[in-house]
Structure 1
Amino acid sequence: MECAVREEIIPRNAAKLVKVPVPKYKVNRGLTVPQARAVLKAAREHRLYALYVLALCLGLRRGELLGLRWEDVDLDGGTLEVVQTLQRVAGRLQFVRPKTEDSARTVPLPSICVEALREHRKRQFAERSDRWQEWEEHGLVFPSRRGTPMEPDNLRRSWGAIRKTAGLGEMRFHDLRHTCVTLLLNLGVPPQVVRDIVGHSDIEVTMTIYAHASLDDKRTALRKLGDALG
């Protein structure tokens, strides 16, 4: 085609007339600040409290949380590295590399995360001591009660109970990630910084989540416009 265009056999490249649709992402903006606080309150005494703190504050994916190892966490330096993810491959749970270069990342840990992880490590040590006969050490931050990689369905059940206690209806666990994106952007954090924190491959994904405005947001915006014109 390009050769024919250059030789002027074809006057123009017809392929340029083809419009490739922009991918559509089905997203939910996630939780409001009061709802996010309700989640943390509902999870406070749960063995996976720290997991919910990281999901809300850092926007980690489910597989990234379940694949996280203590060797990837530097509590003194206040950083966390995403270097692997737990996925079901051919019917088996396996640790795999993040799917993109942007997904593999180093994230600073705010104090709320450091404190939650320190408390979690103490809790896990006690749990391991109580179950030492059946414990299988894998170095995971969020393993099962036996130290093995956690079945994603177990996390789903945990989230279902916490979601119910917090009064969140059918909100998905993945919406905690969207919550992180939206709240950070609402705080004025530059989109490219938010993208790097949550590991989006394209800033368009970051902004698509943010642009999914709620009815209340639209109502507020139009009220402001009406006030300005009135």
Structure 2
Amino acid sequence: MLGLRWEEVDLETGTLEVVQTLQRVGGRLQFVKPKTEDSERSVPLPPVCVEALKEHRKRQFAERSGRWPDWEDHGLVFPSRRGTPMEPDNLRRSWSEIRKAAGLGTVRLHDLRHTCVSLLLDLGVPPHPVREIVGHSDIEVTMTIYAHSSLDDKRAAPGKLGDALG
């Protein structure tokens, strides 16, 4: 997310391209290629995300034009307040404030990724497209680490078994 640039986001087609990440290397923040070949990918965005990104882009442009005279444009979708790459610890601090305001308890930012996988699978999306969307190189990772069964699914399972056996 911190390595995403506006040039990799196509709000007309509703897609984004994952081509780099932001990591601390040798004590410095650097843009690097994603860790696996499957991590580099095109991600389709639902309309709600496209609209949120359009609003974010407008807000970002307005803020950098007026409030931040020392803006350094790196083309980042989620930069620091100066336009430079955002320190990951600052993102974690911001997330803490956001989740508290939203009443999300102790949900980590990364937990949203797990939630996305589980929701897509619960909605009937086959595992292979889900794997490709999140950039896993192995379907096993998607299904064993990221997919979480809902309580409703667990309750429905014995009923389905009973129907099949009955």
Please report the TM-score for the alignment, with normalisation by the length of structure 1: 0.65
Distance (whole Å) between structure 1 residues aligned to residue 149 and residue 47 of structure 2: 30
Higher RCO (Cα < 8 Å, 6 or more apart): 1
- Counterparts of 1:65-214 in structure 2, within 5 Å, are 65-209=1-145, 212-213=148-149
Distance (whole Å) between structure 1 residues aligned to residue 123 and residue 18 of structure 2: 24
Distance (whole Å) between structure 2 residues aligned to residue 70 and residue 225 of structure 1: 46
The structure number with the bigger radius of gyration is 1
Note the aligned Cα RMSD (angstroms): 2.2
* Contact 1:70/1:139, CA 8 A, preserved across alignment: yes
Please, which runs of 5 or more residues in structure 2 have no aligned partner? none
Shift in Å, 1:209: 3.3
Structure 1 outlier segments of 4+, above 2 Å? 165-169, 209-222, 224-229
Among the aligned pairs, what percent are the same residue? 79
Please, which runs of 5 or more residues in structure 1 have no aligned partner? 1-64
Deviations 1:163-184 (CA, angstroms, capped at 9, x unpaired): 2223232221100000110000
* Contact 2:127/2:142, CA 8 A, preserved across alignment: yes
Distance (whole Å) between structure 1 residues aligned to residue 73 and residue 147 of structure 2: 43
Shift in Å, 1:132: 4.6
Counterpart of 1:140 in 2: which secondary structure? coil
Distance (whole Å) between structure 2 residues aligned to residue 203 and residue 164 of structure 1: 33
- Letter of the structure 2 residue corresponding to residue 185 of structure 1: L
Question: Alpha carbons of 1:226 and 1:84: their partners in 2 closer, same or farther (altered >3 Å)?
Answer: closer
* Contact 1:131/1:146, CA 8 A, preserved across alignment: no
